Amino acid sequence: MVQKISTLLLILFLFFMAMTFPVLAAEQEPAADGLDNQVKGLDMAQIQRLVNQMDLEIKDALPNTDVKSLVGGLARGDIPMQPGEIFNRSLQYIFREVVANFSLLAKLVVLAIICALLHNLTAAFEKGTTGQLTHMVAFLALVTIAVGSFGLVIQLSRDVVDKMVVFMQALMPLLLTLLVAVGGITSAAIFHPLIFISITAFGAIIKNVVLPLLLFAAVLEILSTLSSEFQVSKFAGLLKGTAMGLMGLMSTIFLGVMAIQGVAGAVGDSLTYRTAKFATGAFIPVVGGVFSDALGAIIGSSLLIKNAVGIAGVVIIALIAVIPLVKIITIAFIYKLSGAIIQPVGEEKISNCLYALGNNLITVFAAVAMVGLLFFFTIAIVVGMGNVTVMLQ
């Protein structure tokens, strides 16, 4: 199920990438000063404020922290994209995070070894329960550390989702304004309530329902490892399954509604435009098309800026999400590594517990990545609708 959803999302991702980016190359190149004037006229204060509030690490990765310059540069094709450098920096960051989380790994491994020792020394105590009790206390200490860092990750994920939602709420009015400017009045009217409700509802459900459900599932899974007699793993599975199902359902509804409404708006807009164009062309046979051609060329610059704003939005969304995502996946890796290291010592229970926590963290990673991906699709749909509107004209 998850694999199918992942494949579908990957196909959609590639489709929307293809839909958004080539337009930049295909457009006519309008005068640079015209582009600059249009960019200067746009209200990007809120987006700029959000970019200014970003972490230094994220800002370093941006080619230009001034959003207007970034959009202008993207529209003119002045911003050089260096995939090699981005890849190297990402690797460096991942490595740095792994090193930074080695203290967590050390704590977990040391406590697990103590647990294993206590487990093996149980027979040495006068009463067997004393050994069991100390083993249990050490185990609970280990679980406390693991759950503590898991809780921090959940909090980090909630903050990221919040940041992405706030950024989208700042970006969408600008994109809709530019959509209206290129003639997508119906699309903008349809998208306005729809986008804001979808974004906020999706963000709120991931933040307030899915992530807590995953935390509860993780807690119950740990609880199940405490005793082989008293199991609540089915309850944990139920919570995890609910969270995953909710995520899949929400993303399907989100994408479906956006795509259908967007196409309906684009067709409506192009119909209005074509009727007006036909009227002009019919009355002035030779030069009837000249005005619409001139208007088309001018609209091209607005379209170019809209696409540049969209690309800048995608870049910023990616930067907001990428660092926390790297942190989450690194901690998941640390849990799994701890589980793998501990297993040969003979502490199967702790190993399973840490491995389960690692798996749950990967699910948290998927939830946050899904939010980023769906917001990327939203931007791509709005940008793509402008392109479709102009193309149908």
* 304 binds other proteins per the rule CB under 8 A: no
Query: Which of these ranges, 62-70, 96-104, 127-135, 365-373, lies near other proteins under the rule CB under 8 A?
Result: 127-135
Size of the site for other proteins (CB under 8 A): 60
User: Would you say 14 or 197 has its CB closer to other proteins?
Assistant: 197
Q: Binding of other proteins at residue 249 (CB under 8 A)?
A: no
Query: Should residue 302 be labelled a site residue for other proteins when binding is judged by CB under 8 A?
Result: yes
| Smaller CB separation from other proteins, 105 or 232 | 232
SS3 of the chain: the string is CHHHHHHHHHHHHHHHHHHHCHHHHHCCCCCHHHHHHHHHHCCCHHHHHHHHCCCHHHHHHCCCCCHHHHHHHHHHCCCCCCHHHHHHHHHHHHHHHHHHCHHHHHHHHHHHHHHHHHHHHHHHCCCHHHHHHHHHHHHHHHHHHHHHHHHHHHHHHHHHHHHHHHHHHHHHHHHHHHHHHCCCHHHHHHHHHHHHHHHHHHHHHHHHHHHHHHHHHHHHHHHHHHCCCCCCHHHHHHHHHHHHHHHHHHHHHHHHHHHHHHHHHHHHHHHHHHHHHHHHHHHCCCCHHHHHHHHHHHHHHHHHHHHHHHHHHHHHHHHHHHHHHHHHHHHHHHHHHHHHHHHHHCCHHHHHHHHHHHHHHHHHHHHHHHHHHHHHHHHHHHHHHHHHHHHHC
Candidates 48, 65, 122, 280: give the one binding other proteins (CB under 8 A): 280
Please choose, out of 228-236, 251-259, 336-344, 350-358, the segment that lies near other proteins by the rule CB under 8 A.
228-236
Site for other proteins in 179-218 (CB under 8 A): 179-183, 185, 188-189, 192-193, 196-197, 199-201, 204, 208-209, 212-213, 216
Nearer to other proteins, 114 or 133 (CB): 133
Interface with other proteins, residue 219, by CB under 8 A: yes
- 14 vs 297, beta carbon nearer other proteins: 297
Which of residues 38 and 157 has its CB atom nearest to other proteins in the complex? Answer: 38
Q: Does 392 bind other proteins (CB under 8 A)?
A: no
Give the residues lining the site for other proteins (CB under 8 A).
34, 38, 41, 43, 129, 132-133, 136, 169, 172-173, 176-183, 185, 188-189, 192-193, 196-197, 199-201, 204, 208-209, 212-213, 216, 219-220, 223, 226-227, 229-230, 232, 235, 280, 283-287, 290-292, 294-295, 297-299, 301-302
